[in-house]
């Protein structure tokens, strides 16, 4: 293998390493925050999203905003709580995962 081939191989290996790091960073960025289970039924919950379109005076869409929220849709849940609409999944997850102090056997944890 001549020096040009070695140099090219080294550049390709470096590029593959960088691509792997970029792929990992993208995967982490695109993975939404983990959600705690429903505090009432204990079942897993999911993100929901909707696009709310504002209309101009003529009734035509002029602006749209995507909102995210978390809600328990389990049929056996007697409460089906949900968060407010938020602009990011992170905000919705923070609202959902934020719980008041937990009480166990009459003691605040």
Q: Determine the Cα–Cα distance for residues 1 and 42; give it in Å rounded to an integer.
A: 62
Together in a domain, 95 and 78: yes
pTM: 0.60
pLDDT tens digit at each of 109 positions of the chain:
677 787 888 888 888 877 777 776 666 667 778 999 999 999 999 888 888 877 788 877 777 888 999 999 999 999 999 999 999 989 999 999 998 765 566 565 5
Q: What's the pLDDT at 50?
A: 85
pLDDT of residue 83: 95
Q: Is 64 a domain residue?
A: yes
CA distance 52 to 46: 19
* Residue 2 to residue 94: CA distance in whole angstroms: 56
Dihedral class, residue 87 (left if φ above 0, else alpha if ψ from -120 to 50, else beta) = alpha
Look up the domain containing 77 and give its range.
33-99
| pLDDT at position 103 | 55
85 with 69: CB under 8 angstroms?
yes
Is residue 55 located within the same domain as residue 76?
A: yes
Same domain, 19 and 54: no
User: Which residue is associated with the tokens 């602009």?
Assistant: 87
């Amino acid at each position: 293998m001549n020096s040009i081939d070695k140099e090219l191989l080294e550049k390709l290996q470096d590029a593959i390493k960088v691509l792997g790091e970029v792929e990992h960073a993208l995967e982490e960025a695109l993975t939404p925050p983990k959600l705690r289970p429903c505090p009432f039924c204990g079942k897993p919950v999911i993100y929901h999203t909707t696009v709310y379109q504002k209309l101009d005076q003529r009734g035509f869409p002029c602006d749209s905003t995507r909102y995210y929220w978390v809600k328990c849709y389990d049929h056996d849940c007697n409460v089906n709580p949900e968060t407010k609409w938020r602009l990011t999944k992170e905000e919705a997850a923070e609202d959902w995962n934020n719980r008041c102090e937990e009480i166990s056997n009459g003691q605040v944890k």
